[in-house]
């Protein structure tokens, strides 16, 4: 495990971060927690995180997940002998043996003549991760989320850093596309962890709940402010990869529009959500990036 470093990004974390980091310290040679500008109000939490044996890197301002990841990765790579970096969100819980399972998956792929750049889990909260087929008998991954993802240092040297100008959303997808184009495939290992993918709310139409035979309909949504970045970055990244990955661009745009339509019909907060998405579309078309103006 001394060859593995974990980089955890955090922003306004709950005390749950302490236990999540403690679980990582037991699985890797080095754990670096990057505070993305939470401010002094979270000193007590980061103080307890430091007591687990993790290193703390605190950014002065909220710079986005890309910048936080890059800072942590840069610090991790200063340690001689680090060959793998696992990136983790603050609310992800990696169970015992998780990192070892990723290492075993990478070793199995190499034994079959495939050298991966990214290694992800086959399941998240019991749900199968998207697969891109197989190669040499190894299951390939498709658009892995960055939490719980292992990246080889060799791949990082060739692919480069995470794209900080996206700030948040599609940062992991853009890195995956760049790695794929550079010849570093993603594979799925026999591993699983717990990670929250959005918030579920009760569906309502005209103020009335939507009930199905199996019970109330529930809809998964993201925080309202996220819809700005979801739609802006979808346009920005699509522009970068439209020629090389036209199917990905078309599929991604359709999925985002379909999701927005679904939550507009069924989830409260419709107006705010539509305004955020519209502002994202506008700035995406104008080529604007970075942190949303005025935030």
Residue-wise pLDDT tens digits, 191-201: 999 887 678 88
Which range is least confidently modeled, 66-70, 82-86, 214-218, 250-254? Answer: 214-218
Query: What's the mean pLDDT in 201-222?
Result: 86
DSSP state of 93: B
The percent of residues in the chain predicted with pLDDT above 90, rounded, is 87
Q: How far does CA 171 lie from the centroid of its chain?
A: 7
The percent of residues in the chain predicted with pLDDT above 70, rounded, is 99
What is the pLDDT, as a whole number, of residue 1?
66
What is the pLDDT, as a whole number, of residue 224?
94
Asked if the model's pLDDT at residue 89 lies above 70, the reply is yes
Q: How far does CA 78 lie from the centroid of its chain?
A: 23
Q: Is 198 left (phi over 0), alpha (psi -120 to 50) or beta?
A: left
Asked if the model's pLDDT at residue 269 lies above 80, the reply is yes
What is the pLDDT, as a whole number, of residue 25?
96
User: For the chain, what is the mean pLDDT?
Assistant: 94
Query: What's the mean pLDDT in 166-185?
Result: 97
* C-alpha torsion angle, residues 14, 151, 109, 195 (rounded to 10): 20
Please name the residue ranges forming H helices in the chain.
16-25, 43-50, 65-76, 98-111, 153-159, 171-181, 226-241, 246-266, 270-285
Q: How confident is the model at residue 212 (pLDDT cuts 50, 70, 90)?
A: confident
3-state secondary structure of 272: helix
CA-CA distance, 166 to 156, in Å (whole number)? 18
98-135 residue pLDDT tens: 999 999 999 999 999 999 999 999 999 888 999 999 99
Q: What's the CA angle centered on 23, arms 63 and 184, to 5 degrees?
A: 60
Between residues 209 and 56, which one has the greater pLDDT?
A: 56
Asked if the model's pLDDT at residue 29 lies above 70, the reply is yes
């Amino acid at each position: 495990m001394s060859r593995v470093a974990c980089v955890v990004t955090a922003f306004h974390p709950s005390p749950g971060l302490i236990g999540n980091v403690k679980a990582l310290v037991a699985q890797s040679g080095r754990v670096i927690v990057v505070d993305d500008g939470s401010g002094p109000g979270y000193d007590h939490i980061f103080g307890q995180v430091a007591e687990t044996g993790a290193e703390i890197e605190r950014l002065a301002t909220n710079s986005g997940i890309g910048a936080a990841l890059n800072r942590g990765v840069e610090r991790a790579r200063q340690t001689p002998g680090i060959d793998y970096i696992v990136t983790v969100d603050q609310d992800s819980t990696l169970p015992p043996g998780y990192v070892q399972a990723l290492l075993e998956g990478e070793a199995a792929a190499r034994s079959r003549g495939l050298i991966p750049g990214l290694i992800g889990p086959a399941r998240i909260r019991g749900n199968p991760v998207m697969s891109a087929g197989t190669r040499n008998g190894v299951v390939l991954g498709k658009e892995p989320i960055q939490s719980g993802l292992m990246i080889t240092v060799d791949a990082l040297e060739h692919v480069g850093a995470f794209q900080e100008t996206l700030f948040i959303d599609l940062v992991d997808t853009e890195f995956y596309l760049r790695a794929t184009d550079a010849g570093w495939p993603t594979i799925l290992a026999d591993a699983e962890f717990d990670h929250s993918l959005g918030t579920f709310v009760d569906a309502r139409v005209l103020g009335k709940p939507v009930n199905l035979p199996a019970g109330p309909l529930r809809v998964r949504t993201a925080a309202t402010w996220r819809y700005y970045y979801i739609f802006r970055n979808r346009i920005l990244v699509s522009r970068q990869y439209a020629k090389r990955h036209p199917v990905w661009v078309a599929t991604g745009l359709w999925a985002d529009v379909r999701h927005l339509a679904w939550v507009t019909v069924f989830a409260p907060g419709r107006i705010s959500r539509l305004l955020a998405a519209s502002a994202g579309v506008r700035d995406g078309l104008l080529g604007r990036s970075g942190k949303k103006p005025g935030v």
